[in-house]
Structures are given as C-alpha cells and as structure tokens.
Structure 1
Amino acid sequence: MVTRLRALGTQWTAVVPVLAIVLLALTWGRDLPGVVVAVVTLVLAGAVLAAVHHAEVIAHRVGEPFGSLVLAVAVTIIEVALIVTLMADGGDKSSTLARDTVFAAVMITCNGIVGLCLLVGALRHRVAVFNPEGTGAALATVATLATLCLVLPTFTTTKQGPEFSTAQLTFAAIASIVLYGLFVTTQTVRHREYFLPLTEEGEVIDTDGHAKGPSSKAALLSLGLLGLALVGVVGLAKGVSPTIESGVESAGMPHAVVGVIIALLVLLPETIAAVRAARRDRVQTSLNLALGSAMASIGLTIPAVAVASVWLSGPLVLGLSSTHMVLLALTVIVGTLTVVPGRATPLQGGVHLVLFAAFLELAVTP
C-alpha cells in the first residue's frame, strides 16, 4: 500500500508540470473566463508543489548548498525572462517594472521567507540555529547589490530622475555579475562549510555523508521536470495577472500591488521548500534559499535589463522611493542583528514578519 502511494505521488509530480506547460500553451495571450482562471489556479498550485518536490530530489542528490542554489537560480532566470518580456510589451508604463519586481523579491525573501522560517524553526526546535559566517556573507552581498542598483539611482545627477546613465548602468550590471559570481564561488567551492546546516551544538551537518540519494537518472529527470514546473508557475501566473489586475483595480489599490502578488506566486516554490527545511531543523538551508533568491534576483535581473535597454524604448527607473529606502535600510539593520548571534528565537522571526507586513501595507496604501 505504501509503495503504491509513493508511486502515485511520483506520477503526480511528473504529470502536473507537463499539464502546466500544456495549459500554458493553450491559454497564453488569451482572455480567460472565470472557470478557466479557476482551473489555471489549481494547476498553478499543483506546479508549485511539484517544483518543491523535484527541487528536494535534486538537493538530496547534489547536497547542500547546491540544492538550494539550483532552485534559486532556476526561478530567477525564468523570472528575469518574464520581466524582460513584459518590459518589451509594456512601453513607458513598464519603466518601473524591474525595480518594483526586484524590490518586492527582496522584501519577500529577506523578511517574509526569512521571518517565517525562523519562526517555524524556533517554535519547533526552541531556537533556530544557523551559521552566522555564511548567512552574514549572503546578507552583506544582498545589501550591497540592493544599494548599488536600487538606492544610488535616486541620488545620481548625471541623468534626470531616479535613473542610471548608460555608463552607470553598465557598471551596476558588471558589479552585480561579479558579486554574484564571487558569492556562488564562496558558497560552493572555497567555503562550502559555512553554508551547511548546523546542530544546536554548532556542529556542521554534511548531508553528503548520510543516506544515499537518488540516482543520477532520477536527479536529471527531476531537473527537467523542475524546469517545466517553474516555467509553468511563472507563465500561468502571468496568465492570471489580468484577473488579478482587475481585482486590484476594483479594490481601489495601486497598480504596484499586482507586481507584489505576481512575485508572491513566483516565489511560492522557494517559500514552501524553505519552510519545510526549517521544520526539519535545517534553517541554514532555508536561509540559503531566501538570501540566495534575493541575491539572484538583483544579480541577474539588473544585467539582463541593462542588456535589454539597448533595444527597449522608454526610461528605466531603478531608484527606490524614500519610503522603500527606509524599509530596505531597516531590513538590513534588523537582518544584521538577527544573523550575528547564529541562532534566533521566535522573536526575531516575528520582527521580520512585521517588516514584511509593513511592506505589504505600504504597497496597498502608499
């Protein structure tokens, strides 16, 4: 009976990503009636769960921190492709799309996912334990990237408005790639042990030495299905965005709320995977996912839009408003205080979640 249930679960996670792609092909670029939107939403939820399953299979095969890196980069690459596509179609009205999406991703990951994982981990295991060296390095990189790419454009004077000049944008793009590359090298090669889960006594848990993982064939199959699932998640999220826009407009909320909702949908696989890791007392894995996603979102999006700006018409607004800069600064300060001890109680998780709630509130009522 147990074997049959496992087989059914495996079949389900293999079928749903393919179904999501088929549904995406059938609905792309069309106005969807309410019934179809409901079906798309159900398949979208299934694709999210399937993506989490396949990401965990890959993580089990390659070990940490490679597993969390695969999911973070895969989601971000697809997200970047979606942003560039929307910018190409949107004209001047999409001038702030890259900024809004990246900032929403930073707030969701650094406050929403981090706060939720710390809260879950601390409630289940009394304290959430992680490596301050690796997590601190990740947070420092995120803070530097966010400041260079999202704060400085507000204060530069070469070009009018919160925009970079061509030379400044080129520098920001190169700096983003260099910093992200340095971090990935540090995380996966030179100081991999800084990004592995810890016991409550501070001992490193290297999953490579534990139970045998899935075969290479199974891992490759999961990698392919993960890609399909993520394409389905992002594409179907875009498909239901007109319905979301209508709902947002009907509720009298700012248009920026649409970007937040889409970002929440796109980051669902990482959120679920991170929370599940925290429940297993692998908070470091959760933080790798959260901060890695924030870093990839900036480090890959800015170079992509810099290249795309060569042929895209209209301005590229990257500078944050004063309200968002305050939120970003507070996030960095609180994040630093959270990371330094290497362990957290439910209080730290609650503080990050309150910051995330403040971001959502200010998105709805700026």
Structure 2
Amino acid sequence: MSVHSPMPRSAWIFPALAVLLFMAVGATDYAFTLSLGGLVFATVLLVILFGTVFAAVHHAEVIAERVGEPYGTLVLTLSVTIIEVALITTIMLGAKPAPQLARDTVFAVVMIVCNGLVGLCIFIGGLRYREQGFQLSGANVYLSVLFALATITLIMPNYTTTTPGPAYSAVQLGFVDVVTLALYGVFLYTQTVLHKDYFVHERTDGEGAGAHLSGRIFWLSVALLLVSLLAVVLLAKKFSLVVDAVGAKIGAPPAFAGLLVAVLILLPEGVAAVSAARKNDLQKSINLALGSSLATIGLTIPAVGVATYAFDKELELGLNEQGIVLLALTFFLSMLTFGTGRTNVLFGLVHLVVFAVYVFMVFVP
C-alpha cells in the first residue's frame, strides 16, 4: 500500500466502526451465543477486527516511511505486538482457563514467520529475480537473539526441577521476563543505534527512497494508529468469546486458538513483507518477519507473565516433543537459509514444506 496515494477510506472507516461496535455492545450489554444472531455478530466482529488490524498496520507503514529504516520496521513490529498482547491476555484472563494460549500463540508466530512468511517471500522473490540479497550480519543478529529467546521460553520450562514442567515457578518466570526484556532491549539498541547498517540492504533498482509526506498526513496516521490499536484492545474480549465458542463447537484442538490469534495479528504484516519481496527488497521482508518474531517473544512473554502473576493465572510455556522437533528443525534450516547472504527459490520451498507440516500437525497431532 503506497503512502504516496491518498489515504484509503478503509484506513479510517474500520477503526471508526470498531469503536462504534464496542459502544453498541456496551450499551446493549450484548452476550454472545452460538445462534443465528450470534453467527452474524461473529462475522461482523471478525470483519471489523481484521479491517482494523489492517488499518493499524497501514498507518504504521505510513509512519515507518517517514521515519525510515530501521525505525520504521520497529514501529510496525511494536504495533503488532500491542495487538497480540491484548488478544492473548484477554483470552487467558477469561472465564475459561487457557494456560497454553501464550505458548501456542508464540510458537505459531515463530512457525508462521520463520517458515511460512520467510518461505513465501524467498519463494516469490526467487521466482521473480532468481536470487535476492540481504545483509548477512543483520540476519545473524536476528537469528542469534531469536534462538536464545525461543529456547529459554519454549524449551527450558520442560527441564526445570523447582516446579514440574512445562511451567516456570513465579521466581523463574520473573527472572525470564527480566532477561528476555534485557536481551530484546539490547537488540533494539543494536538495531537502531550501534549497527543500523546491518539492517539496511543497498538496492540496485533505484527504489526504496524515503517518502516525502506532509506533516498533516503523518500526524493523522499517528492519531489513527492509536485509535486502531485502542479499538482492537476494546474488542479483544468479544473476540475471545467467539474463539472459545467456535472452538468448542467444532471440536478444534487446543492449539487452534493460538494459531488463529497469530494469523490475525500477522496477516497485515505478512502482506507488507510479501509486497517488499516482490519489489526485490528482501531485506525489508526479513526485518518485518524476524523482527516480529523477536518482538513476540521479547515483549509478549514478559507482558503475559506479569498479567498471569497479577491475576493469579497459570501459564504453561514448554512445548511438547513434537513442537521441540519442529522448532529445532526451523533453527537449523534458518541457519542454512541465511548463511550466505543470498537466497533462491529452493530455500523458500523447503521453509514452506516445514510450515505445511506444522499446520497439519496442529489438526492431526
């Protein structure tokens, strides 16, 4: 979506509809049930929620174009993380216990991003340009932090002795929250101050120049981004009721809710990443994809950890054996894919196959 064109109507209509829907639900004290009226409400809710998420990402892209890389990608990832934390904590703090939701969502984000999104970007770029380049040093920074954070949060809980896995004790969870925030903070300092050049790849096609936006458009996007994020947070409770009811009705596996939340929050960012790959800007695709994975673990886990501790809820983080195998395979494959600074269509296809295996195993474990 180009920021040079006039602001699309959907960029302000959906946030406005989301606020109006929340006000209408609050005024009528509507309670969701699986009836014909409930299905109509669920459809309207999902359409407005998806549209509002897309609007939020559009405004984040407008701001990103103005501030430039790598700050622009940071705006996008932080916006998506706020939405993710709101959805996860709302569902987890609901009446129905969901101690695995944070783990399932974080794992789904890692698998969608590192296999589905990365694979699709590399595959499309490989078909169109044969090979695409990126900053090897930046990819190594992303992967080293991602591997450490994912291992600490998704694997280590299975092997602690203070409490039986797959959960950390309160003290252990507090320590993990601190170290993950510290590591992510140092990564941000590296990305935005120390080594900005690691995350910007020189283009050879003359594209990628900074956008020239009027101050009015910029500040309007800032305001609408805040409204969009607030609207998603306000509707998160009703979304959680729809997820619980539909999941119970169709007999969906426990990991389905986490996968659905991950798809909702990553779809707009995924569209932006694929669009960048089509324009031969694989570096931006990598920044969006791997950056969102890091933000998910580095910010979502500490936020959810604090929420579960404050409201005395259970939080299970450790993956089962099947998930650990898929995560380890993703780590190994990512090292090979990002190990040379050049990609081709075969690397993308292999990632897509691993992602297909993950989705299949969610429904047929």
Tell me the TM-score normalised to structure 2 length.
Answer: 0.88
Would the alpha carbon gap of residues 55 and 321 (structure 1) be closer, same or farther in structure 2, given more than 3 Å must change? same
Would the alpha carbon gap of residues 58 and 117 (structure 1) be closer, same or farther in structure 2, given more than 3 Å must change? same
Where does residue 20 of structure 1 map in the other structure?
Answer: 18
**RMSD of aligned Cα (Å):** 2.5
1:318 CA displacement: 1.1
Q: Does 1:167 find its partner at 2:168?
A: no
Would the alpha carbon gap of residues 41 and 170 (structure 1) be closer, same or farther in structure 2, given more than 3 Å must change? closer
Contact 2:66/2:213 (CA < 8 Å) preserved in 1?
yes
Where does residue 332 of structure 1 map in the other structure?
Answer: 331
Q: Which amino acid aligns with 1:42?
A: V
* Distance in 1, Cα, partners of 2:210 & 2:314: 53
* Distance in 2, Cα, partners of 1:310 & 1:250: 30
Identity %: 45
Q: 1:97 aligns with which of 90, 95, 101?
A: 101
1:353-364 matches, within 5 Å, as 353-364=352-363
Where does residue 147 of structure 1 map in the other structure?
Answer: 151
| Residues 139-165 of structure 1: CA deviation (Å, up to 9, x unaligned) | 111110010111100011111231112
Where does residue 74 of structure 1 map in the other structure?
Answer: 79
Contact 2:87/2:261 (CA < 8 Å) preserved in 1?
no
Would the alpha carbon gap of residues 102 and 342 (structure 1) be closer, same or farther in structure 2, given more than 3 Å must change? same
Where does residue 197 of structure 1 map in the other structure?
Answer: 201
Q: Does 1:214 find its partner at 2:218?
A: no
Larger mean Cα displacement after TM superposition, 9-18 or 231-240: 231-240
Q: 1:88 aligns with which of 66, 89, 93?
A: 93
1:240 CA displacement: 4.5
* Distance in 2, Cα, partners of 1:44 & 1:252: 24
* Distance in 1, Cα, partners of 2:268 & 2:320: 29
Would the alpha carbon gap of residues 56 and 161 (structure 1) be closer, same or farther in structure 2, given more than 3 Å must change? closer
Q: Which amino acid aligns with 2:39?
A: G
SS at structure 2 position matched to 1:94: coil
SS at structure 2 position matched to 1:82: helix
Contact 1:270/1:289 (CA < 8 Å) preserved in 2?
yes
Contact 1:83/1:98 (CA < 8 Å) preserved in 2?
yes
1:131 CA displacement: 1.0
Where does residue 31 of structure 2 map in the other structure?
Answer: 30
SS at structure 2 position matched to 1:10: coil
| Residues 81-134 of structure 1: CA deviation (Å, up to 9, x unaligned) | 33223222246x221122111111111111111111111222222222211110
Tell me the TM-score normalised to structure 1 length.
Answer: 0.88
SS at structure 1 position matched to 2:353: helix
Identify unmatched segments of 5+ residues in structure 1.
none
SS at structure 2 position matched to 1:133: helix
Contact 1:245/1:255 (CA < 8 Å) preserved in 2?
no
Where does residue 62 of structure 1 map in the other structure?
Answer: 67
* Distance in 1, Cα, partners of 2:169 & 2:59: 42
* Distance in 2, Cα, partners of 1:82 & 1:34: 20
Contact 1:84/1:308 (CA < 8 Å) preserved in 2?
yes
1:244 CA displacement: 4.7
Q: Does 1:281 find its partner at 2:280?
A: yes
1:105-116 matches, within 5 Å, as 105-116=109-120
Q: Which amino acid aligns with 1:56?
A: E
Q: Which amino acid aligns with 1:30?
A: A
Where does residue 187 of structure 1 map in the other structure?
Answer: 191
Contact 2:156/2:318 (CA < 8 Å) preserved in 1?
yes
Would the alpha carbon gap of residues 177 and 240 (structure 1) be closer, same or farther in structure 2, given more than 3 Å must change? closer
SS at structure 1 position matched to 2:8: helix
Where does residue 128 of structure 2 map in the other structure?
Answer: 124
* Distance in 1, Cα, partners of 2:274 & 2:236: 22
Contact 1:237/1:265 (CA < 8 Å) preserved in 2?
no
* Distance in 1, Cα, partners of 2:113 & 2:22: 26
* Distance in 2, Cα, partners of 1:234 & 1:63: 27
Q: Which amino acid aligns with 2:278?
A: R
1:178 CA displacement: 0.9
SS at structure 1 position matched to 2:310: coil
Q: Which amino acid aligns with 2:17?
A: L
* Distance in 2, Cα, partners of 1:303 & 1:211: 34
* Distance in 2, Cα, partners of 1:211 & 1:312: 45
SS at structure 1 position matched to 2:340: coil
Larger mean Cα displacement after TM superposition, 346-355 or 309-318: 309-318
Identify unmatched segments of 5+ residues in structure 2.
none
The number of aligned residues is: 355
* Distance in 2, Cα, partners of 1:269 & 1:159: 39
